[in-house]
């Protein structure tokens, strides 16, 4: 397999991301999706779902640090955290670094993603054994709509696959309204929202859906080199706060933590919310 390559095709199958692979380490069809793990030549181990890149050892820290610490640094309350999707465990790993979080629920539809990640990405799943973490293998949409009392969580993270198949419903106004109800009065939601350039899934519609559910909606980006086009956007939605409203009481704590992180620091956080004209237009921001 020495000259073999993995390629994910995107943007209506007109572009691609390619990685030279040393070995296919694992391949299976779970009830939900095809799960593959490759040993690559340059980006370490690579997890793909239905042929789409999810996690590489080279850059997973960017995505996972960003989702966890941007939300935590702004949050005034942070006792209970919910992550929908995210079966690789990377976002949980970052949240467990905050000792004052009491409960972290991970709701991943496909338990095989969790199990495969435990074998091949132990550095991502290390937080799953923390006593504050509950791993629930079920549909995040049903979970939030049918099982959760209003105000149950302070932070909700949507760490999903693309808006298609079982993840399509994670990008609707109905779902975002259900998240709003599940959040406490000062609650915050973050979600991955695709590439604003290669706008295959209708970014403006996703942000319109968010604006229908939350009074404060913003967007920011971070580079994820294995995702289509590398320029990746995230949504920050809140009942009360803006993305740059860092909690002044957490400054010392975040200052200390950021010395141990590889991507996140508070300067980057503030700057990430300054958007280009292009990005504003793509998300329909006035």
Q: Which is nearer to ligand SAM, 36 or 110 (CB)?
A: 110
- Cβ 54 vs Cβ 47: under 8 Å: yes
Q: Which two structure tokens, joined as six digits, stand for 280?
A: 């504003």
CB of 142 to ligand SAM, least distance (A): 8
Eight-class DSSP state of 284: T
Give dist(CA 249, CA 156) in Å, integer.
Answer: 21
Q: Which is nearer to ligand SAM, 85 or 196 (CB)?
A: 85
Q: Which of 159, 162, 173, 245 is catalytic?
A: 159
Closest CA to 124 of 54, 53, 176, 173: 54
CB of 151 to ligand SAM, least distance (A): 21
CA angle 7, 9, 11 (to 5 degrees): 155
Q: Answer for the pair 179, 144: CB distance below 8 angstroms, yes or no.
A: yes
Q: How far is the CB of 215 from ligand SAM (least distance, A)?
A: 25
Q: Considering beta carbons, is residue 90 or 243 the nearer one to ligand SAM?
A: 90
Report in angstroms how near the CB of residue 224 gets to ligand SAM at its nearest.
Answer: 8
Residue closer to ligand SAM by CB (options 55, 74) is 55
- Judged by CB, which is closer to ligand SAM: 52, or 98? 52
Minimum Å gap between C-beta 178 and ligand SAM is 12
- Considering beta carbons, is residue 244 or 282 the nearer one to ligand SAM? 282
Query: Least distance in Å: CB of 271 to ligand SAM?
Result: 22
Say whether 162 is catalytic. no
Q: Is the dihedral of CA 207, 213, 217, 221 positive or negative?
A: negative
C-beta nearest to ligand SAM: residue? 85
Burial 223-245 (b: 16+ CB within 10 A, else e): ebebbbbeebbbbbbbbebebbe
Rounded-to-integer distance, Cα 36 and Cα 158, Å: 22
Which residues here bind ligand SAM, judged by CB under 6 A? Answer: 32, 49, 54, 63, 84-88, 107-110, 113, 139-141, 159-161, 166-167, 170, 192
Q: What is the Cα–Cα distance from 94 to 126, expressed in whole angstroms?
A: 10
**What DSSP assignment string belongs to 207-240?**
HHHHHHH-SEEEEEEEE-TTSTTSEEEEEEEESS
Nearest-CA neighbor of 126 among 61, 173, 82? Answer: 61
CB neighbours of 225 closer than 8 A, spacing ≥ 6? Answer: 43, 56, 58, 59
Active centre residues (catalytic): 159
């Amino acid at each position: 397999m020495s000259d073999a390559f993995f390629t994910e095709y995107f943007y209506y199958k007109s572009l691609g991301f390619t990685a030279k692979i040393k070995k296919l380490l694992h391949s299976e069809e779970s009830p939900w999706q095809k799960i593959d793990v490759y040993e690559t030549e340059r980006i370490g181990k690579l997890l793909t779902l239905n042929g789409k890149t999810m996690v590489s050892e080279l850059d997973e820290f960017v995505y996972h640090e960003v989702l966890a610490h941007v939300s935590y640094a702004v949050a005034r309350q942070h006792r209970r955290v919910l992550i929908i999707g995210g079966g690789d465990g990377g976002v949980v790993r970052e949240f467990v670094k905050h000792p004052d979080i009491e409960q972290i629920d991970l709701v991943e539809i496909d338990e095989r993603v969790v199990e495969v990640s435990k074998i091949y990405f132990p550095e991502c799943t290390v937080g799953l054994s923390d006593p504050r973490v509950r791993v629930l293998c079920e549909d995040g949409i049903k979970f939030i709509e049918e099982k959760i009392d209003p105000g149950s969580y302070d932070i909700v993270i949507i760490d999903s696959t693309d808006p298609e198949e079982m993840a399509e419903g994670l990008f609707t106004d109905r779902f975002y309204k259900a998240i709003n109800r599940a959040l406490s009065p000062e609650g915050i939601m973050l979600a991955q929202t695709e590439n604003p350039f290669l706008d295959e899934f209708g970014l403006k519609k996703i942000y319109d859906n968010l604006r229908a559910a939350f009074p404060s909606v913003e967007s920011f980006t971070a580079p994820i080199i294995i995702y289509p086009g590398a320029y990746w956007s995230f949504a920050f939605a809140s009942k009360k706060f803006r993305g740059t409203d860092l909690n002044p009481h957490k400054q010392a704590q975040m200052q200390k933590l950021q010395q141990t992180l590889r991507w996140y620091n508070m300067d980057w956080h503030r700057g990430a919310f300054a958007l280009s004209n292009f990005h504003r237009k793509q998300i329909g921001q006035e």
